[in-house]
Structure 1
Amino acid sequence: MKFYSTNNKDHKVGLREAVVRGLAPDNGLYMPERIGALPKEFIESLHKQSFRDIAFTVARHLLGDEVPEQELRRITDQTIQFEAPLVEVEDNVYALELFHGPTLAFKDFGARFMSQLLGYFARQQDKEIVILVATSGDTGSAVANGFLGVKGTRVVVLYPSGKVSEVQEKQFTTLGENITALEVDGTFDDCQRLVKLAFQDEELRSEFFLTSANSINIARLIPQSFYYFQTFAQLKDRSRPVVFSVPSGNFGNVTGGLLAKRMGLPIQHFIVSTNINDVVPEYLRTRSFEPRPSKQTISNAMDVGNPSNFARMIDLYGHSYEALAKDVSGYAFTDAETREAMQQVYAKRKYVLDPHGAVGYLGLKKYLQEQKNGVGVFLETAHPGKFLEVVEQVLDKKITLPPALEKFLGGTKRTVPLTNSFEAFKSTLRRI
């Protein structure tokens, strides 16, 4: 299997280069050369298969023979160490809970898969791999914990100062070992810009073996398709149309779902649900993609003004607005609407939504009201305890933290302060 750049389909590389480079030389994102449909028998027998077996089959389908079968089985088994349960919240409305991993966020799946894959590639070379990751919340913690102690790798996390929750921050600033946190005076978009500039800088690329663990990396994206298949494995009624509402920031999660649909999973429709950072819903409404500075909200992991994976979304549909809009709808919601949804769902169903899941729930309900058909699944991307202050204030209720989060909160924060200047970042990267 080869992987091409979204900026130039003639530029093709093998898996190792796509994963280790992260970003193509022309700043495009890597995509599999072929995304064929999986056998119909596999799709129809999902309910009879384990999550690990499903993940292995999907990974093998997308990666071809780029990784030996035994090694790929080890990687997928190490990735799927926890479940992604489907919980009925209302009639025909389900939450896909993706927060049962070590950092209690959906990004644990992608981070663990990528860390194992990069660890495999690191064993084949002498030079240390330096992983750069920009985070608006959960990516940093998932990647840092996924790579903690992985030989031949060093992780540098960039995050916007004061714009992630305390729990999220503690999950990647207290680890030490091969993990360094850079606290940037700016926004998530500043952090992402610094990472992208580092990949374009020839001096840094000659000094360091750089790669990225953001969802711009194809190794982060591929495992995000696994749990869409696992959803169908858990659905009792597979006769009705199924729609997914995905709370979206950098749009890697919904792109993983679009890959699953392209591989033959019978998903009828996707809803991209955002907070007021609504660049993609606005595109779906106006046909105009206009990135802009992000605004801070209570669903901070979605505070993204220039989502990288939009390039993959539009590439999957041959840059056709009509084709994309046929499969994807978009809605945006305010903090006030998010709070109200959290309150109403808890009052009626005693189900605690985190702010991101609440946005996904709102998008699903709005779509189902218009379409009046089908089974709806919204992604619950993080445990409510990761947004303790917001959730307790909104629900006027104490939230019991899982032991894993309590442990992180007791750790000592260690960061390196940084301006949003690239020269400052470049100098810091050489010093740490």
Structure 2
Amino acid sequence: MKYYSTNKNSESVSLRDAVIKGLAPDKGLYMPEVIKQLPPAFFHNMKEMSLREISFIVAEAFFGEDVDAGDLKKLVDETLNFDIPLVKVSDRIYSLELFHGPTLAFKDVGARFMARLLGYFMNRESRQTVNVLVATSGDTGSAVANGFLDVPGIKVYVLYPKDKVSKIQEMQFATLGKNITALEVDGTFDDCQSLVKKAFLDKELNEAVKLTSANSINVARFLPQSFYYFYAYAQLAKEQKDPENLVFSVPSGNFGNITAGLFAKRMGLPVKRFIAANNRNDIFLQYLRTGRYEPRPSVTTIANAMDVGDPSNFARVLDLYGSYEAICKDVSGASYTDEQIRETLARVLKVDGYLLDPHGTCGYRALEEGLQPDETGIFLETAHPSKFLETVESITGAQVVIPLRLQEFMLGSKQSLSMPVDFGAFKHFLMNQNK
């Protein structure tokens, strides 16, 4: 299958080139030329299928023309060696717990799949080192770093904003060493993302160094996130025969996750609508209200992974729907302050006995406020609450148990390197690393 740029000023490329390049030469994001409809029998039989079985069929629709079926099945099986439970939280509201992977965050799915897909392509050509650049506002860095750890022929550079990610998140990628380098940028997530984008567009750098991105701008990172939307529907179908009027509420930062859900709907998944749940960084909500997309500098919140002032995947949403009016038919928005997040997180634990993290809290509250009487809602609980230990404990007054795998990260030594918000310095660093 070919992949085209959202800016329409670059030639279409193969899956291999889209994965390795990450960003198109015209600064656009790659999109598959065809989004295949899945057959009705698949949706009828899903409730009897496992997560891996469902994911393989969805993966075939995206990648089957470019990856041998046996290899693709292996990629899916190795990626999804953990469960994704659907838990009822309150009346008609369910949590899709995406934090049961190695780094306890939803990004484990996309990061692990991309690492294996990139390795698949690299094993079929010369072993030139590929440099993976990833900007993170929290969980992306840990998921990518751990997904690519010790993968031959690949170096990973994680750019993260100084003092703007939680300590546990930082230690998950800043302590690894080996082929993982953590760069502590003296700025915001948007500054980190800007450095990454500029690197892809610098001709001299790209002639000297082979670069790709593991942010959700990369098709191999965001497309696999569609797997769990199908699986969520299948789990709900076991409880409710042929679920109708299903609403997904998605904590949204860079919009890769909700874009994957919109792709699932386009492939035939019976979803009525989506809610993009934001913190105070409500650029998309303002777009829905005014029809104008006006990026602005991000502000720091307790839901830090959503602190994004210019979501990259908005370009994909607009390309997928073609117009403001079409987007508004499928997607609504919500935005919450830190105070609202705190109130909701504490109340849900007290009333329903369910412990949210600050990001999932936004998704829950959006359903609580916006779900219609005939609708069923699923919000994406994107990270384990212990990854935001101080915040969650200060809100609830209760001790949060830290899973063993997170405790092990905390025993490591931080190995970050400082980086200014200066592309010249970043370029010089990368050139020297690849001499």
Q: Same fold (TM over 0.5)?
A: yes
For the residues of structure 1 that align with 2:20 and 2:95, how far apart are their CA atoms? 34
Deviation at 1:365, TM superposition (A): 1.4
**1:108 matches 2:108:** yes
* Post-superposition CA distance 1:214-247 (Å, at most 9, x none): 0000000111100000001101113331000000
Deviation at 1:44, TM superposition (A): 1.2
Partner of residue 339, structure 1: 342
Q: Contact 1:122/1:128 (CA < 8 Å) preserved in 2?
A: no
Code of the residue aligned with 2:278 in structure 1: it is T
Q: Contact 1:122/1:153 (CA < 8 Å) preserved in 2?
A: no
Q: Which has the larger displacement, 359-368 or 347-356?
A: 359-368
Deviation at 1:110, TM superposition (A): 0.3
**1:299 matches 2:335:** no
| SS of the residue 1:154 aligns to | strand
**1:162 matches 2:166:** no
What does residue range 204-353 of structure 1 map to in structure 2 within 5 Å?
Answer: 204-235=205-236, 236-237=239-240, 238-318=242-322, 320-353=323-356
* Post-superposition CA distance 1:298-337 (Å, at most 9, x none): 000000000000000111102x111110000001000000
Code of the residue aligned with 1:198 in structure 2: it is A
Deviation at 1:82, TM superposition (A): 0.7
Partner of residue 359, structure 2: 356
Runs (4+) off by over 4 Å = none
Question: How many percent of aligned residue pairs carry the same amino acid?
Answer: 57
Deviation at 1:270, TM superposition (A): 0.1
For the residues of structure 1 that align with 2:291 and 2:328, how far apart are their CA atoms? 9
Q: Contact 2:283/2:310 (CA < 8 Å) preserved in 1?
A: yes
For the residues of structure 2 that align with 1:293 and 1:188, how far apart are their CA atoms? 10
* Post-superposition CA distance 1:17-51 (Å, at most 9, x none): 00000000101101110112100000111111111
TM-score w.r.t. length of structure 2: 0.97
For the residues of structure 2 that align with 1:239 and 1:215, how far apart are their CA atoms? 29
* Post-superposition CA distance 1:346-380 (Å, at most 9, x none): 00011110000001111111211xx3321100000
For the residues of structure 1 that align with 2:157 and 2:269, how far apart are their CA atoms? 36
Deviation at 1:9, TM superposition (A): 7.2
TM-score w.r.t. length of structure 1: 0.98
For the residues of structure 2 that align with 1:80 and 1:64, how far apart are their CA atoms? 18
Code of the residue aligned with 2:369 in structure 1: it is K
Code of the residue aligned with 2:107 in structure 1: it is K
| SS of the residue 2:191 aligns to | helix
* Post-superposition CA distance 1:111-170 (Å, at most 9, x none): 000000011111122211100000000000000000001111110000000000000000
- C-alpha spacing 1:204/1:245, structure 2 compared with 1 (3 Å): same
For the residues of structure 2 that align with 1:28 and 1:10, how far apart are their CA atoms? 8
RMSD: 0.9
Deviation at 1:10, TM superposition (A): 6.7
For the residues of structure 2 that align with 1:324 and 1:275, how far apart are their CA atoms? 20
**1:418 matches 2:419:** yes
Partner of residue 146, structure 1: 147
For the residues of structure 2 that align with 1:7 and 1:373, how far apart are their CA atoms? 39
User: Please, which runs of 5 or more residues in structure 2 have no aligned partner?
Assistant: none
Deviation at 1:394, TM superposition (A): 0.3
User: Please, which runs of 5 or more residues in structure 1 have no aligned partner?
Assistant: none
Partner of residue 95, structure 1: 95
For the residues of structure 1 that align with 2:243 and 2:337, how far apart are their CA atoms? 34
Q: Which has the larger displacement, 113-122 or 232-241?
A: 232-241
Alignment length (residue pairs): 429
Code of the residue aligned with 1:415 in structure 2: it is S
Partner of residue 19, structure 1: 19
For the residues of structure 1 that align with 2:243 and 2:412, how far apart are their CA atoms? 49
Q: Contact 2:10/2:26 (CA < 8 Å) preserved in 1?
A: no
